[in-house]
Amino acid sequence: MEDCKLELKLEDKPGELSKVLDIVADNKGNLFSVSHIRERKREGYLPVIIQFQASNEDFNGIVKGLEAKGIIITEKTIGGKEEAQLEQEFILIGHVIDTDIKDTIYSICNKDVMIKSLDISLKSLKDPSSVFAEIGAKNAKALDEAMKKLAVTAAKKKLLLITGIHT
């Protein structure tokens, strides 16, 4: 049995947590703590950390079960080994749509880097638009490369790139 930890993004509504706990129990996980991070609630989603003991096989079963129910897992740890996703948020300002948003944002995605959320604000077609995005990466190198690539593309397309403070 390994010590396991999952950080989840749950909808802040009745029944969501019990759905998670059922999946852990059904896969023979031995739950020992559940923490809600209320101060980090955003857009109706609440970060929740669950800690439990499970075998490698059961851990994978729990992860698959949660994903099948559409539950977002932001961090996975088993046996002290973090399988966490590094996150990076950014904003692009300018003619993001006109300059092919798909090319700009999705070109940084690969097997190690994925877009986790995208939020677009468009005042009118002639005005500059703004895009807020959050990407997840499997490791620091992949994240760093993706952000460098994004910076080059943004400069080429004359878009203002605003990244998070920890970049």
Partner 1 sequence: MKKVRLLLLGFGVIGRGFAQVLLEKSEYIKKKHGVELSVVGVGEYNGCLVGEPVGLKTALELREKGKWLDQHPQWRKGMTSAEMITLIPADIAVEVVPSNIKTGEPGASLIEAALKKGLHVVSSDKCAVVNKFAELCDLASKKGKWFLYEASAGGGMPLMNLARECVQADEVKSMEGILNGTTNYILTKMSRGGMDLETALREAQELGYAEADPTYDVEGIDAAAKAVILANDIMGWKKKFADVNITGIMGVTKEAVQLAKKNGYVIKLIAEIKENSLSVSPKLIPENHPLNIESNLNAVMFKTDIGRDVVIIGRGAGGRETQSAVFSDVLRISKDL
DSSP state of 42: B
Out of 86, 90, 150, 153, name the contact with partner 1 by CB under 8 A: 90
CA distance 85 to 73: 9
Which residue, 24 or 159, has its beta carbon nearer to partner 1? 159
Asked if 69 touches partner 1 (CB under 8 A), the answer is no
Asked if 165 touches partner 1 (CB under 8 A), the answer is yes
Asked if 130 touches partner 1 (CB under 8 A), the answer is yes
CA distances from 148 to 36, 151, 153, 157 (A): 34, 5, 9, 14
CA angle 42, 153, 89 (to 5 degrees): 15
Out of 39, 44, 102, 125, name the contact with partner 1 by CB under 8 A: 39
CA distance 122 to 139: 32
Please give the residue ranges that form the binding site for partner 1 (CB under 8 A).
39-40, 42-43, 89-91, 93-94, 117, 119, 121-123, 128-132, 134, 160, 162-165
